[in-house]
Amino acid sequence: MNRQSGNLQKWLAVLLGAVVLLVPALYNGYPMVDPDAGTYIASGFKFDTPIDRPITYGLLVRMFSLNGFSLWGVVATQALLLSWLLTDVVEIVLAEKFRAVFSIGIIAVLSCATSLPWLVGMIHPDIFTAVCFLLLFKITVSAKPKWWWYLFFWVAVAVHMSHPLLFTGFSVVLIVVAKFVFPGANPQLWKRYLLTASLSLSTILIMGSAISKSKHVFLTGTLVEKGVLKVFLKEQCATHNYQLCRYYNELPETSDGFLWNESGPLYKIGGWSESKKELTQMDHDLLTTPRYLWMYCSSSIRQFFKQLNYFDILTGTFNFPPGSNVHLQISAYVPRDIHGFEKATQNRIDLPEELIPFKLYLRWIVYLSAVVLLLMLALRSKSFNSQLKIVLIICLGGYILNIADFSLLATVSGRYAAKMVWVIPFLCLLTAFYLRLNKKVQKT
């Protein structure tokens, strides 16, 4: 096969893979949306940074919907991006044994048996966490990374508030590994990671407004769910005049209950903006006291192990009737789509409830894949090439760090793990393909 023919087959595989990744959205009859979708659409078209998230994804929604022509353009772009990255990873690992049909087969299995296509087909930035890790892999193994890979990486980091800490920290870990653990592997590698760390850190400039307006509320919500805030207030209200003391008995059990219940304690003390001074001081007092800090860390560790086994698709994909925020924003900014949106499956049936058996099936696929992958790692890891080892380290490390990030700074939610858990079946398939093809070569 000549080079030109091989490239054509590869890009045909990318296109076909993108179509396969859109199967859940096609089943829904429209890109899937949750309550956050309305905020993203409005922020991009109003050029207004929301109080609780960066504007970046909203701008991408506007760009790839072709300025409001259709939200199908957004999920099609996400599908193409993931299909391209996955095809590249498969090609890099399998090297000269790569065939376009292999990547199509792997993507097809992922579309039938993982959370990946449900993320791709949704108007939500969760899929970009995996995009960042896959780009880091390409940057690591490439002889000369292209400049636009770094640009893609920077944009992907900038779409979510959890990303700057996650990818700055991960890049720093990679710097240490490249510089001091394996200094002879590639003397220039640490400089690439220094650049990704700098790019990750720089996205805080984009998020500055949202972080300033929301960090005190999100952190207090986290303290609520970890159970630390109630203990703190019970012991400190006698000597401190915190406004929340008046509503101690009304504190909810969950972060969502604290953040979004407009009749709850947060809104009784002034809401997101008016509560900033008090909540910032209270959070500082709590986290600088060793006893409460220990309780916070202990709860974070328990939440880490809980989150490790808690992943779910279709979180928040409710029915959005006329008058709901999502319906209003699509009507206002993507009017051509409104008829298709109203006919979407999620607006006609309870989609999360309807797909409970399928979600159970996805869970068992992850468990089975994890067992098989561990067996292959234990028995055959010595035969892995460096590219396979690197993608295993980056993707599995990324999965663990993503969960640790949310366990420490947020709450337990099915979507937080679901956005990366699909890499376990992917790595299982990729490793099995690699071992099978190399076994054939050895026999020959």
- List, as one string, the DSSP characters of 26-95: HHHTS-B--HHHHHHHHHHHHT---SSS-SHHHHHHHHHTTTTT-THHHHHHHHHHHHHHHHHHHHHHHG
Q: Mean per-residue pLDDT for 370-378?
A: 97
- For the full predicted model, state whether its pTM sits above 0.75: yes
Q: pLDDT exceeding 70 applies to what percent of the chain?
A: 97
105 in Cβ contact with 436 (< 8 Å): no
Q: Judge whether residue 247 has pLDDT over 90.
A: yes
442 pLDDT band, cuts 50/70/90, is low
Q: What is the pLDDT of residue 213?
A: 87
Q: Is the pLDDT of residue 441 over 80?
A: no
Mean pLDDT across the chain: 93
Give the chain's length. Answer: 444
User: pLDDT digits over 139-182, tens only?
Assistant: 999 989 999 999 999 999 999 999 999 999 999 999 998 887 77
Residue 273 above 80 pLDDT?
A: yes
- The pLDDT tens digits for 119-134 are 999 999 999 999 999 9
User: Is 223's pLDDT higher than 60?
Assistant: yes
Residue ranges per structural domain of the chain: 1-124+315-354, 209-288
Q: What confidence score (pLDDT) does residue 96 get?
A: 81
